[in-house]
Structure 1
């Protein structure tokens, strides 16, 4: 299989990729089993074939209309490699070049992607049929950043199940009941307040099994929707795997991996559509290069780090943002200030650093070239979110992409979060405590 034209003189780099691709493809073997445990090699190097026709990824099953990429759902084309769906040979290839590179090399191929097209797809879905079930996926690690008010209002006229995904990232000591109680309260002011809530994880089979049972109850249209990187496609692939089918949808840390809706049949009678994800405009990853996105989109349990701080002390999140304990103190029996505990729930890889609040901006300017992860533009302006408290309470402050800070407030306490100033703003929300 080739990804270039032999008559093109400017193809040396693509030839190298072609050799890597061919070497890798020769190693690809389907390990799905029939009743007699027979192993069958794929008849096409890039084709995905289920043992029973019409089951699994049925994007091109009926043969009607133009052929689409089984990884992202985009129509295949041979005219412009900068546009999603580009291949050299439409007949032989099932993955477009973009998806193949993401799937096998974790490389992002820059292509023109229009958010308005995604919104139009979701709006059209709502108008097609009266009876529809939506699975609305939110990221438990980034609840404020993975919700869209307009989307919740749009789908609230249909049947909706809220999938709180990535619960495997939470500390094991947190009970499912506590998480469900928190989510019920969290969605109490949403148009989806009466919707069923399910905890999910693409890593834990017990969660996937419950989701499969739910999916297989329904014989009308089902759609899985949500923000990019909330884990929609990973959930479907996990369902396919546990249902003894072939996972085929491309997933990665990059936004907009799925570009058009993809039809997945779990049986001949029920199916689900994976839909494009909408960009997390208020996520801090927007302010960084994709090479740092492993710090924000990850698959390991979050870490709790506790700092005991006096007022006028600051904690840095790498070279991205910082939390400051600006004012307020409680005196002990000797009338001396007591330290206040702040619990940071973050990616285990994300470095935190303590400094004096007075020195915070100077510290950032001095080390912004060497800190990691860091902003893609060293000239970013910053915006500070201030929080003043007048009573004793337990709260969380969520920063989209960085996790949250849990602490107990008291009268006169003042804290702040400083984040880079982006086009849509990085989401910083005060919520009731999750843990």
Structure 2
């Protein structure tokens, strides 16, 4: 028997493993005909507490084997973290599969970005073939759910895949009404969960942990704090030369430029992420002293500690209409340039220079 919230196999032996529920509690809920939730899901729903559980790497290999068993693969991407959710592992295993791309959380973008602009931007960023269609969705606003449901109704058996925290389970619940565990914590789903939508059977999968996003380096409580829930934070900066800009404590930009006019850039990230601009001469001392304090994430100085991370540096030349995205954290968008910056981040984190997604001079988002 599996947990009806996260899909983990029910077991009574170890609290540290997925699917644990005390035997007496399990027996009582069965006898009373109540929903069976593992202890982890019960605490997440009723107390807002999620115990961390690492997804077995065996599931990644299992996913490669089972994708051929489904008529369509529904690959869910997060528009607020496109570089983090467009994972190379999934690109490889889904490249020649029949798939539908769902771009979720579009309600978190500024209304200056139109639906058509989002779709055009995503099409330019995709590097894979055999895409049947792209759907833009928001479970918060229920945008795009009806159209997606109509499309999925053409198939008997579909599989939802994606990295953690893209909103797969929220989409499955919106489509089917299934009582899945939906929490603000990444990685809530731990096993395959089956739900019905009229004649279509939908399977939800555990979110994949990429280790190429900032949030993948953080504990669950900190991830919950920094991931955008209702909107993105946006701030505009007009820095002078020899300034250092921090997006939290895990992403540092040293600004260099030689133009007549000062550059202007905007930064987009979750509400819990802290921005800070300082003189480059003070940056080293401030970074270590305020890491995990003024500079969030991380949410504490020790998870992870400054000294435990391997840091790398990259330089980028950016101009108007370009952005620099930090996977699992946010992005910097150039409003006046050019601008040269040196980025310092943890070693494996993806940093991507890309064409701008957000342009404040364009039309707003229309209703479905």
What is the TM-score normalised by the length of structure 1? 0.74
| CA distance in structure 1 between the aligned counterparts of 2:297 and 2:271, rounded to whole angstroms | 16
| Residue pairs, 1:166-205, within 5 angstroms | 166-187=105-126, 190-192=127-129, 194-205=131-142
Spell out the pairing of 1:323-338 with structure 2 (5 A cutoff). Answer: 323-326=253-256, 328-331=257-260, 338=261
8 Å CA contact 2:107–2:141 kept in 1: the answer is yes
Query: Which stretch shows the higher mean deviation, 379-388 or 137-146?
Result: 379-388
Is 1:102 paired with 2:27? no
RMSD, matched Cα = 2.1
Deviation at 1:109, TM superposition (A): 2.1
Q: Which runs of 4+ in 1 moved over 6 A?
A: none
- The answer to whether 1:406 aligns with 2:333 is yes
Q: Are positions 1:159 and 2:95 aligned together?
A: no
**Which digits, 9 at most, give the CA deviation of each residue in 1:347-367, with x for residues without a partner?**
234221110123211211232
Q: Write out per-residue CA displacement over residues 268-288 of structure 1, whole angstroms, 9 at most, x where no aligned residue.
A: x21210011101311112333
Counterpart of 1:397 in structure 2 is 324
- Could you tell me how far apart the structure 2 residues matched to 1:306 and 1:409 are? 11
| Aligned-partner Cα distance in 2 for 1:120–1:248 | 28
Q: 1:119 aligns to what?
A: 60
C-alpha displacement of 1:199: 0.4
1:279-308 C-alpha deviation (Å, 9 max, x unpaired): 131111233343322343232121321111
**Per-residue Cα deviation, 1:130-158 (whole angstroms, up to 9, x for no partner):** x5201101110111111122322322332
Distance in 2 between residues matched to 1:199 and 1:221, nearest whole Å: 21
1:144–1:206 Cα change, 3 Å: closer
Residues 358-380 of structure 1 show CA distances to partners (whole Å, capped at 9, x for unaligned) of 32112112323632524311323
SS at match of 1:235: helix
Q: TM-score, normalised by structure 2?
A: 0.86
CA distance in 2, matches of 1:378, 1:275: 33
Q: State the partner residue of 1:294.
A: 224
Q: Which has the higher contact order (CA 8 A, sep 6+)?
A: 2
2:182 corresponds to which residue?
251
Partner of 1:263: 194
**Structure 2 unaligned residues grouped into runs of 5+:** 359-368
| Per-residue deviation, 1:78 | 1.5
Per the TM alignment, residue 160 of structure 1 is displaced from its structure 2 partner at its CA by 0.6
Larger Cα-atom Rg: 1
Structure 1: gaps spanning 5 or more residues: 1-66, 332-337
Contact 2:99 2:131 in 1 (8 A): no
- Report deviation, 1:419: 1.7
Q: Distance in 1 between matches of 2:239 and 2:196?
A: 54
Q: How does 1:67-86 map to 2 (within 5 A)?
A: 67-86=1-20
Q: Does residue 238 in structure 1 map to residue 238 in structure 2?
A: no
Corresponding residue for 1:384?
313
Partner residue, 1:339: 262
* 1:54-86 deviations in Å (ceiling 9; x for gaps): xxxxxxxxxxxxx11111112211222221111
